[in-house]
Amino acid sequence: MSSEITHDAAHDEHDHHGPAKGLMRWVTTTNHKDIGTLYLWLSFIMLLYGGSMAMIIRLELFQPGLQWVEPHFFNQMTTMHGLVMVFGAIMPAFVGLANWLVPMMIGAPDMALPRLNNWSFWLLPFAFGILASTTFMESGAPAFGWTFYAPLSTTYAPDSTDFFIFAVHLMGISSVMGSINIIATILNMRAPGMTLMKMPLFVWTWLITAYLLIAVMPVLAGAVTMMLTDRHFGTSFFDAAGGGDPVMFQHIFWFFGHPEVYIMILPAFGIISAIIPTFARKPLFGYSSMVYATASIAILSFMVWAHHMFTVGMPVAGELYFMYATILISIPTGVKVFNWVTTMWKGSMTFETPMLWALGFIVMFTIGGFSGLMLGVAPVDTQYHDTYFVVAHFHYVLVTGALYSIIAAFYYWVPKWTGHMYNETLGKIHFWWSTIAVNVLFFPQHFLGLAGMPRRIPDYSLQFAEFNMISSIGGFAFGLAQVFFLYIVIKTIRGGEKATDRVWEGATGLEFEQLPSPPPYHSFTEAPPVR
């Protein structure tokens, strides 16, 4: 460790400088750590923005009847909430983590294409600025759901849809460029000795995620481009009146959409695979099976899209194929859960905050996996489809799955990033508060769905009243817990007990073993030794 520190002092004479001063540092930066920080802050801001729309949704659903907002505005809220959370909160958080961690984990000085990296980030505030501005337009924001099915998004769409299309194009360019950068970094910038099968699983899962992104983001871009030409340039891709097919839109959307949900969970698997071994003080069980399971999940994710369309009308052979293919994915997913549990088996476990979030992930993501399995069974999905059961499913996998892994990653790596320990008591309060609230919020939605309450509606019949009220109370509590998280984040950045270089007794990996906390602005300008 000391050799690393002296090495940096020796280099200080020439081009190894610290960050520029002032606002321009952030506008012009090409440093992977700065850009990682920018992504993470953007993601947090979007989490709070998307979260405030969720609060409006839960407020309206607190009681049956229409109390607070117009039905049309309610639809705008569900649409924008979904879009902002998927594209603004979850995806940029993982890209931010990749920026911070991938170069440090593979012993590279920075990303392969640092200027492209700057561009990838700075497209996003404009994309979300444009998307958010639609709320203030005369036609209102898009109200057709985050899945923007035609013809709601074409023939019957508000004028603001064109802004939505442009925003999606910008996000797509950002994601594609970001992914190519990550692929080039991982394939071409590893320190000598860092073979593929020595890479930390977070790097592996991101490599595979980046391939999913470059395959499906152009499909999304194609879908919105066809919407655009249908709306303005006389084509009829999705218009039955002109010989097109609105159901085709759903196929194309879900060919993007299902891999997209794995884009939001594979990096989470990488994070959990880093945290569990540290706090169990045992190496990860089944490293290579984890790599192969991730690759299998990624390949299978391209072959199951129509499980979102069981009720649309498909030949029985199609229903059966998509049902069995969907159920097949639970095998590699089960391998992962098995490996995490086996890693903990007979380990000397301790339960610091990152470990609590990781354990919460394993338990609650698995609940979401099981409800997914139920939805994958075609005959019963005819009952569950478009009910709150689906809402419960995807919030278990996305909130207690993806978001929990992001929060776990924050607590696990923030001492490395800032050199400050977070406050352990506050971290634990944040975990238990969130975990109780999130289950009060989403568990009753299973019952609502099974009882037949449809999703995306501002009003409901009286028999759903109790569970909705309970769910809303959980929602408000969960929202408040994340404002508390904002306080913890700021407090940790400002100061706190000094973190050691290793941070955690059981931590492994180049970022913990070869770099001080915090790492210098330019780390690994010379390749580190890899065991």
Catalytic site residues? 81, 110, 146, 174-175, 258, 260, 262, 273, 307-308, 333, 336, 455
Question: Could you tell me the two tokens for 378?
Answer: 């075609």
What is the SS3 assignment for 24?
helix
SS3 171: helix
- Check residue 108 for interaction with another protein (CB under 8 A): yes
- Indicate the length of the chain as a whole number: 531
**Given candidates 397, 414, 510, 515, which one binds ligand HEM under the rule CB under 6 A?**
397
Closer residue to Cu ion, CB minimum distance, 258 or 416:
258
Q: Which of positions 118-177 make contact with another protein (CB under 8 A)?
A: 176
**CA–CA separation, 105 vs 125, rounded Å?**
28
**Rg, the chain, Cα only:** 23
User: Which is nearest to 456 in space by CA: 80, 165, 130, 135?
Assistant: 80
112 binds, among another protein, ligand HEM, Cu ion, none (CB under 5 to 8 A by kind): another protein
- CA dist., res. 280 & res. 343, Å (int): 7
Q: What is the nearest approach in angstroms of another protein to the Cβ of residue 180?
A: 5
192 binds, among ligand HEM, Cu ion, another protein, none (CB under 5 to 8 A by kind): another protein
Distance CA 175, CA 179 (A): 6
Return the HEC string of 90-132: HHHHHHHHHHHHHHHHHCCCCCCCHHHHHHHHHHHHHHHHHHH
**Residues within window 225-264 making contact with another protein, judged by CB under 8 A:** 225-226, 237-238, 243, 248, 251-252
Letters for 357-376 (x = contact with ligand HEM by CB under 6 A, - = none) are ------------x--xx-xx
Tokens of 219: 């499909």
Q: Is 393 in the site for Cu ion (CB under 5 A)?
A: no
Smallest gap, in angstroms, from Cβ of residue 195 to another protein?
Answer: 16
- Report how far residue 364's alpha carbon sits from residue 439's, in angstroms, rounded to the nearest whole number: 9
CA distance 443 to 466: 13
What is the footprint of ligand HEM within residues 333-352 (CB under 6 A)?
Answer: 333
- Binding of Cu ion by 258 (CB under 5 A): yes
**Measured distance CA(374)–CA(393) in Å, rounded:** 10
Residues that bind another protein (CB under 8 A): 14-15, 108-109, 112-113, 176, 179-180, 183-184, 187-189, 191-192, 214-219, 221-223, 225-226, 237-238, 243, 248, 251-252, 525-527
Residues that bind Cu ion (CB under 5 A): 258
Residues that bind ligand HEM (CB under 6 A): 147, 261, 264-265, 307-308, 326, 329-330, 333, 369, 372-373, 375-376, 381, 384-385, 390, 393-394, 397-398, 401-402
